[in-house]
């Protein structure tokens, strides 16, 4: 049975066994655009990807299902070579430990997402990046654009445009990279992984 048929079955919850790891050829392929109106499978796939991220961020569910926490997932990571990504970025608690008014800073399934504009300034996460498809720690600054404007379609086939900066911008760029066959460690300077070029914004 194909990966999409397995994953879109009503009873199926995405877990770590569905996620392919580095070395798998699908992670290096350029994914196909989805066509509109979206197929039922593509809509269900997007919803299941978002549900996986929710489950992975819930301590009880994550422990029960043995999930690694994630804020983004791309269809190619499920061995489905389509331009579909899901992002679920929680808002932090305030300084007193109170929950945020809005649970999520960004919660979206994006079909055919692409970067249409970006800043000249580069940015990287101070603690580096990880990936659900990479089971090892890869140290170094992953150099990305500090700000991006992206265009994508939602599950209703409506075209959307979004300006992102900081952490949200980094997460979405990481997932869009997956649809282009690019892994996060491709963006680390091999000779000098922690090189800070002039103007680089380090995001804590």
Q: What is the pLDDT of residues 119-174, one digit of tens each?
A: 999 999 999 999 999 999 999 999 999 999 999 999 999 999 999 999 999 999 99
Candidates 175, 190, 195, 204; catalytic one: 175
Q: Greatest CA span in the chain, whole angstroms? A: 51
Instruction: Determine phi and psi for 115, rounding to 5 degrees.
Output: -85, 125
Is the distance from CB of 179 to CB of 31 less than 8 angstroms?
A: yes
The two structure tokens encoding residue 87: 């992002």
Kindly give the pairing relationship between strand 84-90 and strand 72-74: antiparallel
Q: pLDDT per residue over 22-37, tens digit each?
A: 999 999 999 999 999 9
Give yes or no for residue 203 having a pLDDT over 90. yes
> What pLDDT is recorded for position 100?
86
> What pLDDT is recorded for position 96?
81
Give yes or no for residue 1 having a pLDDT over 90. no
Residues whose CB falls within 8 Å of the CB of residue 194, separated by 6 or more in sequence, listed in order: 139, 140, 141
DSSP summary character for residue 146 = S
Give yes or no for residue 180 having a pLDDT over 80. yes
- Average pLDDT on 92-109 reads 89
> What pLDDT is recorded for position 98?
85
- Average pLDDT on 78-105 reads 92
pTM: 0.96
Give yes or no for residue 188 having a pLDDT over 90. yes
> What pLDDT is recorded for position 81?
98
Give yes or no for residue 115 having a pLDDT over 90. yes
Which contiguous run of DSSP H or E holds residue 106? strand 104-118
Q: Is 24 annotated as a binding residue?
A: no
Instruction: Determine phi and psi for 140, rounding to 5 degrees.
Output: 130, 160
Give yes or no for residue 51 having a pLDDT over 90. yes
What's the chain's length in residues? 204
Enumerate domains of the chain plus CATH numbers. 3-202 (3.90.45.10)
CA-based torsion, 60, 66, 69, 71: positive or negative: negative
Is the distance from CB of 13 to CB of 52 less than 8 angstroms?
A: yes
- 204: annotated active-site residue: no
Q: Is 131 annotated as a binding residue?
A: yes
Q: Is 178 annotated as a binding residue?
A: yes
Q: What mean pLDDT is reported for the chain? A: 96
């Amino acid at each position: 049975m194909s990966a999409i048929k397995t994953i879109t079955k009503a009873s199926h919850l995405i877990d770590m066994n569905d996620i392919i790891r580095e070395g798998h050829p699908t992670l290096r392929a350029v994914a196909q655009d989805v066509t509109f109106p979206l197929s039922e499978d593509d809509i269900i796939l997007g919803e299941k990807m978002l549900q996986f991220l929710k489950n992975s961020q819930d301590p009880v569910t994550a422990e029960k299902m043995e999930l690694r926490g994630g804020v983004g997932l791309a269809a190619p990571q499920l061995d489905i070579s389509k331009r579909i990504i899901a992002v679920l970025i929680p808002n932090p608690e305030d300084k007193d430990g109170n929950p945020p008014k809005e649970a999520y800073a960004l919660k979206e399934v994006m079909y055919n997402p692409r970067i249409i504009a970006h800043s000249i300034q580069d940015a990287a996460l101070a603690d580096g990046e990880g990936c659900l498809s990479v089971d090892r720690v890869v140290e170094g600054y992953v150099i990305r654009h500090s700000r991006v404007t992206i265009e994508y379609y939602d599950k209703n086939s409506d075209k959307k445009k979004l300006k992102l900066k900081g952490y949200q911008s980094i997460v979405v760029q990481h997932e869009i990279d997956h649809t282009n066959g690019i892994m996060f460690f491709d963006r680390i300077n091999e000779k000098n992984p922690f090189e800070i070029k002039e103007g680089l914004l380090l995001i804590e």
